[in-house]
Amino acid sequence: MASTEHSTAATSEMDEEKEAPPPQDLTLGWVRDALIRQEDSIVFALIERARFPYNAPAYDPCLLPQQGGRSLVEAFARGAEVLQAKFGRYQNPEEVSFFPDDLPAPSGIPYNFPEVFHPASASVTANNAIWNMYFNDLLPLFTVEGDDGNYTSTAAADLVCLQALSRRIHYGKYVAEVKFRDAPQDYMTAICAKDRDALMKLLTFEAVEEMVKRRVLKKAMVFGQTVTLEDKTFDDETKYKVDPAVVARLYDEWVIPLTKDIEVEYLLRRLD
Amino acid sequence: MASTEHSTAATSEMDEEKEAPPPQDLTLGWVRDALIRQEDSIVFALIERARFPYNAPAYDPCLLPQQGGRSLVEAFARGAEVLQAKFGRYQNPEEVSFFPDDLPAPSGIPYNFPEVFHPASASVTANNAIWNMYFNDLLPLFTVEGDDGNYTSTAAADLVCLQALSRRIHYGKYVAEVKFRDAPQDYMTAICAKDRDALMKLLTFEAVEEMVKRRVLKKAMVFGQTVTLEDKTFDDETKYKVDPAVVARLYDEWVIPLTKDIEVEYLLRRLD
């Protein structure tokens, strides 16, 4: 593939969005750019899931009795994770499995992802909480009632949402690692005292959190509008594919708190 | 799940985007709304694929010798289609498999998708052309060179692009069916004479095609911008995650012509 054939227009964007750099390059600016880019992925994923109605049978453990009490969505997600693990998805420390106990080792692919995380902290996960939050709390807020029969496409869209949310929330490990490296002395006392509240306080910046919530609200408006050739402005009559207030609430109630939980749990193991 | 828990904000959007209606309800307006909504899905999918560089090893048949000459992307796509078929994805006539010969039947799920298409025309497919176009022509145009090791995530993103393009292009079957039903006499002569050129002429509306290309260009600008809390306007300095000109070219050179090919092939079998 000759280099001239490749896109150059996107180069400067991609520079901001490159995947995990070696540990010595890890900076808060890099982590922040990655988190901002992932907001787009989450909003896109929610909009694509909202193409389908709720589709309750996909979540009913009685739909497929041969799956032993697993809903179609769970059986599909487990199968998809097995397939993706086989080809190496979870070799990248950014990707965290929802069902890690059943995964095969990747075969024959030479992966060289750098070890960024402190070994004792690397396995911190919030995926059970993310799974439950997504299906119990979030999904009914941004889908309409109904059943159009597209259960597999629905399950695939759910998995894309879950993976985007999981990647975003587990980026808390990068945040914690880079903050610790930048100023270990700020965190040592609280880590040694196992003082979760003190760590949470050190990691909380309300002004930043407010900005993030306003930005994801705006992204939901921009990406979820119906684009036409006519110019138009946003007003109270504008219909969005996903309610922007739900996306802001997703960040307020779940993404930001779960990310901080990951940061705290990561730091508590950072000196082990 | 109580009905009040569900999103109402998206209802009117969803009304425009509901899945395949019973045959008697099929209208050109419904098909057109579905095609417009699918433009968003295609642009989102391309932007998400462009998160990763080209990642050449994913397309190299020598990476995984145990796959018998299949690249990681092909082996992954085949595995994903098997999994999705098992849970019924291809029961919906909108979804067309890239590797239909190896698919299992769905087990135990009661699907009731209406038969919209004329039986002799239903199996018309352009998926080989779409697969080759995507990997040989399109992918180098909107990815940057490089290898970040995320081959499985790349393959999954490729499959989302391919499925969105395939769904859009095979919607030509809906277009052809609804146009034929609306005015069969307009098409009979050309169908009986097996006159592809005459059918292509009947199905070509250059002003509409120009409008579609301008709209997808605008969607690529809107969805591929970097959204910040500051207001801003589009100018020559704006960086997009996928070059909008490439999206317009995708429609001009491939999506629109392949859709019309599907329409012609569908109509040629419409009286069988």
Closest residue in B to A237 (Cα) is B9
Task: Report the amino acid identity of residue A137.
Answer: D
Do the domain assignments include residue A3? no
Q: Where are the alpha helices (DSSP H) in B21-71?
A: 28-49
- Taking CA–CA distances from A142, the nearest residue in chain B reads B7
Contacts of B64 in chain A (CB under 8 A): 107-109
Output the average pLDDT for chain A: 90
- pLDDT bucket at B195, cuts 50 / 70 / 90: very high
**Amino acid A37: pLDDT:** 97
**Which amino acid does the sequence have at B148?**
D
CB-CB under 8 Å, A52 with B87: no
Q: Taking CB atoms and an 8 Å cutoff, what residues of chain B touch A156?
A: 84, 89
Decide if B51 and A142 are in contact by the 8 Å CB cutoff.
Answer: no
Chain A nearest-CA residue for B78: A83
Give how far B132 is from chain A: nearest CA, Å. Answer: 15
Q: Is there a domain that residue A21 lies in? A: no
Lowest mean pLDDT of A34-38, B149-153, B228-232, name the range: B228-232
Task: Decide if B54 is inside a domain.
Answer: yes
Residue B115: the pLDDT is 86
Question: What is the per-residue pLDDT for B234?
Answer: 72
pLDDT tens for B112-121 read: 888 899 999 9
Which of A211-220, B102-111, B176-185 is predicted with the least confidence, judged by mean pLDDT? B102-111
What average pLDDT does the segment B106-133 reach? 90
Q: Which of A8, A17, A160 sits opposite B51 (nearest CB)?
A: A17
Contact flag B87-A239 (C-beta cutoff 8 Å): no
For A119, B50, B60, the CA distances from B75, given in Å and listed in that order, are: 33, 21, 11
Per-residue pLDDT of A245-268, as tens digits, reads 999 999 999 999 999 999 999 999
Report the residue from B54, B80, B87 with minimal CB separation from A1: B54
**Residue A8: inside a domain:** no
**Residues B36-60 pLDDT 10s:** 999 999 999 999 999 999 999 999 9
Determine, for residues B9 and A240 on separate chains, whether the beta-carbon distance falls below 8 Å. yes
Residues B200-213: what's their mean pLDDT? 97
Q: Which domain holds residue A149?
A: 26-268
Point out the residue among A64, A219, A223 whose CB comes nearest to the CB of B109. A64
SS3 content of chain B, % helix, strand, coil (to 5): 60, 0, 40
In angstroms, rounded to a whole number, what is the distance separating the alpha carbons of residues A53 and A61? 18
For A38-53, what is the mean pLDDT? 98
Q: Which of A13, A223, A239 sits opposite B13 (nearest CB)?
A: A239
Contact check, Cβ <8 Å, B150/A3: no
Cα B172 to its chain centre, rounded Å, is 10
pLDDT at A9: 43
* CB nearest to A51's CB, from B17, B66, B229: B17
Considering only CB atoms, A144 lies closest to which of B14, B79, B242, namely B14
Specify the pLDDT at position B18: 43
Per-residue confidence at B67, pLDDT binned at 50, 70, 90? confident
Stretch B192-206: mean pLDDT: 97
Q: What is the pLDDT of residue A3?
A: 40
Contacts of B86 in chain A (CB under 8 A): 79
Confidence grade of residue A233 (pLDDT, cut at 50, 70, 90): confident
| Alpha-carbon torsion (A37, A42, A45, A50), positive or negative | negative
Residue B13: which pLDDT band, with cuts at 50, 70 and 90? very low
The confidence score (pLDDT) of residue A231 equals: 80
Q: Do A13 and B240 touch (CB under 8 A)?
A: yes
* A76/B56 touch (CB, cutoff 8 Å), yes or no: no
The answer to whether A143 contacts B6, with C-beta atoms less than 8 Å apart, is yes
Q: DSSP character for A233?
A: -
* From A54, A149, A227, residue closest to B92, measured CB to CB: A149
Which residues in chain B have their CB less than 8 angstroms from residue A142's CB?
7, 10
Residue A5 pLDDT class (50, 70, 90 cuts):
low
Instruction: State whether B84 and A48 contact (CB < 8 Å).
Output: no
Per-residue pLDDT reduced to its tens digit, A118-167: 999 999 999 999 999 999 999 999 999 999 999 999 999 999 999 999 99
pLDDT of residue A1: 37
Does residue B13 form part of some domain? no
* Distance from chain centroid for Cα B211: 18
Task: Confirm whether B91 is domain-assigned.
Answer: yes
Under an 8 A CB cutoff, do A211 and B218 touch? no
Q: Is the pLDDT of residue A232 over 70?
A: yes
Query: Do the domain assignments include residue A240?
Result: yes
Q: At what angle do helices A28-49 and A206-224 cross, to 10 degrees?
A: 40
Name every chain B residue with its beta carbon within 8 A of the beta carbon of A154.
none
> Residue B52 in contact with residue B147, Cβ under 8 Å?
no
Min Cα separation A125/chain B (Å): 20
Residue B229 confidence (pLDDT) above 50: yes
Gap from B198 CA to chain A (nearest CA, Å)? 31
Q: Residue A32 — pLDDT band, cuts 50, 70, 90? A: very high
**Locate tokens 């909107």: which residue?**
B142
Within 10 angstroms of residue A235's Cβ, the number of other Cβ atoms is 6
In chain A, pLDDT over 70 holds for what percent of residues? 91
Interface confidence (ipTM) of the complex: 0.92
Mean pLDDT, range B212-233, rounded to an integer: 94
Task: Report yes or no on B8 lying in a domain.
Answer: no
Structural domains in chain A (count): 1
Share of chain B above pLDDT 70, in %: 91
pLDDT at A108: 75
CATH number for the domain harbouring residue B221:
1.10.590.10
Please provide the average confidence, as pLDDT, over all residues in chain B: 90
**Closest CA–CA distance from residue A120 to any residue of chain B (Å):** 24
pLDDT at position B110 is 73
Please state the rounded mean pLDDT for residues A15-21: 46
Average of per-residue pLDDT across B15-44: 79
Instruction: Identify which of B44, B84, B245 has the shortest CB distance to residue A156.
Output: B84
